[in-house]
A and B are shown apart, each in its own frame.
Chain A
Amino acid sequence: MTTTHRRIRVLVAKPGLDGHDRGARVIVSAFRDAGFEVVYTGLHQTPEAIVEAALQEDADVVALSILSGAHMTLLPRVKALLDEAGLDDVLVTGGGIIPDEDAEALHAAGIGRLFGPGTRTGDAVAYIRTWFASSRRAAT
């Protein structure tokens, strides 16, 4: 039978030594309830492991939760490795404790929107839906 079932696939990961996983769990549930297929990798992921998982899972979005303060190194590293693997059409987004000026600098470096404390999960869901609708990946 030929019914096409395109679902948005999101990989949610906690990079580095950061053990704060409440936010990530909230986001994972919200994404599932929004109809996304969410692959959760758990804590203590290296950028290399995150990118390998994104490749195997053919993720549309890599969503990272970072409350450790290491976002300025981790996010660009993940983005660079994705580009290197030919996955430059994957959205890198995330959230946690990330000052606005850092978020702006990261955005200029090709990272998507970042969501801080008090985020309404619906905003992150809407952002991903909107991104996906106009992305190259939606066409495939």
Chain B
Amino acid sequence: MAAVAGRAEAPEREMARSLAEGCGAGERAALARAISVVEDRRPGFRELLARVAANGRRAHRTGITGPPGAGKSTLAAALARVWRDAGEEVGIVAVDPTSPYSGGALLGDRVRMAPLRLDRGVFIRSMATRGAGGGLAEAVHDVIDLMEGTGFGRILLETVGVGQTELGVAEAADTVVVVLTPESGDEVQAMKAGLAEVADIFVVNKADRPEARALVRRLRDAVGLGRGRGGGTPGAGARAKEDGAPGWNPPVLTAVATAGDGIIALADAVEDHRRSLAESGVQEARRIARAEARIRAEVRAVLEAHLGRVAGGGGFAEAARMVAGGRETVYEAAQRLLAGGGILSRDLAP
């Protein structure tokens, strides 16, 4: 068995080494393949990530979120253009939802990023959420790490602001840009979805529409009212105020992404935010928080998988039948599974 396992391991390690080498040299094909390995959790993906991380490169991560159709992709492309003109290399991850029925996904963000398609300083990857609890695919973090390790100094993460994704974006990005439009209900929808809470910067896009100014005014009021509220009900820009850079109050900008209006001001705001994060030390705090969230998610996933495999009496499925049949309580079942999996000794059970 050991010999077989040893032999089976070699090609994975070889794959990890050669892809990591390619990423280190900035090869696009290697990065593309590495992303698939990591996204699919194929054998060797952990070693691959470790090797690419060893390149020690750092990128600034900007998240762009907002309701479907707000203009996120158009805006991302325009922002990338500005950074390219400044000589920076830009990696873009565009996330769209997986269909819960078929498991398939329509990844259409490239349509609006056409101006970037032959620029070798830009790398665009479309990703499906693959049913990660309505939120971001766990692999999104890893994919960003790979782009970072390949030398893209600016990362743009576009996600649809529905479901639980706003929490994922807040975790994955150093700077969160929330895009809203004057269209009916956007604002309300954003507040309900908690989108407004994670914003470091607001952009009212489609400012060519007449209702835009009213939305800007309402947002500025909302951001102002929330100021210094501390522990109360979180409002617009709550994260920026509570654990963001001291003194950072989310600006409310306007843009017409299709015409390129307001994009330089947006790039400036992202830069201001990046600087204030770095100078206040909050950047490092956010990195640490991100790392902790990812470790916790991984530990939880490994524990669950382990319990599913080893827990006595058929694991979760059997326990579920017991509980549903009234033969055991939820708490007894959990204790039994944890004890059966060797995670909790029976005596120590609280």
**Residues on A facing B (Cβ under 8 Å):** 1-7, 9, 28-29, 31-42, 44-46, 48-49, 52-53, 55-58, 85-86, 140
Q: Per a CB cutoff under 8 Å, which of A29, A37, A58 touches B35? A: A58
Q: Say whether B141 faces chain A, with CB atoms less than 8 Å apart.
A: no
Do A40 and B111 contact each other (CB < 8 Å), given the known contacts A48-B118, A52-B117, A53-B117? yes
Tell me the minimal C-beta distance from A23 to chain B in angstroms: 16
Contact indicator B103/A7 (Cβ below 8 Å): yes
Q: Per a CB cutoff under 8 Å, which of B42, B118, B128, B305 touches A37? A: B128
Contact indicator A56/B28 (Cβ below 8 Å): yes
| Interface size, chain B (Cβ < 8 Å) | 37
Identify 18 new A-B residue pairs, CB closer than 8 A, beyond the known A28-B106, A37-B105, A45-B117: A2-B41, A3-B41, A5-B130, A7-B103, A9-B36, A29-B106, A32-B106, A34-B104, A36-B104, A38-B104, A38-B105, A38-B107, A39-B126, A42-B108, A42-B110, A53-B110, A55-B29, A57-B126
Of the listed stretches B203-211, B226-234, B249-257, B296-304, chain A binds B296-304
Contact indicator A38/B123 (Cβ below 8 Å): no
Contact indicator A1/B298 (Cβ below 8 Å): yes
The 5 closest A-B CB pairs, nearest first, are: A1-B301, A42-B111, A32-B104, A49-B117, A58-B32
Q: Say whether B99 faces chain A, with CB atoms less than 8 Å apart.
A: yes
Count chain A CB atoms within 10 A of each CB in B103, B130, B305 and give the residue with the most: B103
Q: Which residue of B lies closest to A9 (CB)?
A: B36
Complex contacts, A37 vs chain B, CB 8 Å: 98, 104-105, 107, 126, 128
Contact indicator B28/A55 (Cβ below 8 Å): yes
Complex contacts, A55 vs chain B, CB 8 Å: 28-29, 32
Report 21 cross-chain contacts, Cβ distance below 8 Å, ordered by A residue.
A1-B302, A2-B43, A2-B305, A3-B41, A4-B41, A5-B41, A32-B104, A37-B107, A38-B104, A40-B108, A42-B111, A45-B117, A49-B117, A55-B28, A55-B32, A56-B32, A56-B123, A57-B32, A58-B33, A58-B35, A85-B29
Do A31 and B104 contact each other (CB < 8 Å), given the known contacts A4-B40, A4-B42, A41-B110? yes
A79 to B123, CA, bound (A): 21
A64 to B298, CA, bound (A): 39
Q: Which residue of B lies closest to A29 (CB)?
A: B106
Q: Say whether B5 faces chain A, with CB atoms less than 8 Å apart.
A: no
Tell me the minimal C-beta distance from A121 to chain B in angstroms: 13
A41 to B128, CA, bound (A): 15
Tell me the minimal C-beta distance from A3 to chain B in angstroms: 6
Contact indicator A42/B104 (Cβ below 8 Å): no
Complex contacts, A3 vs chain B, CB 8 Å: 41, 305
Q: Say whether B124 faces chain A, with CB atoms less than 8 Å apart.
A: yes
Q: Which residue of B lies closest to A28 (CB)?
A: B106
Q: Say whether B184 faces chain A, with CB atoms less than 8 Å apart.
A: no
A38 to B39, CA, bound (A): 15
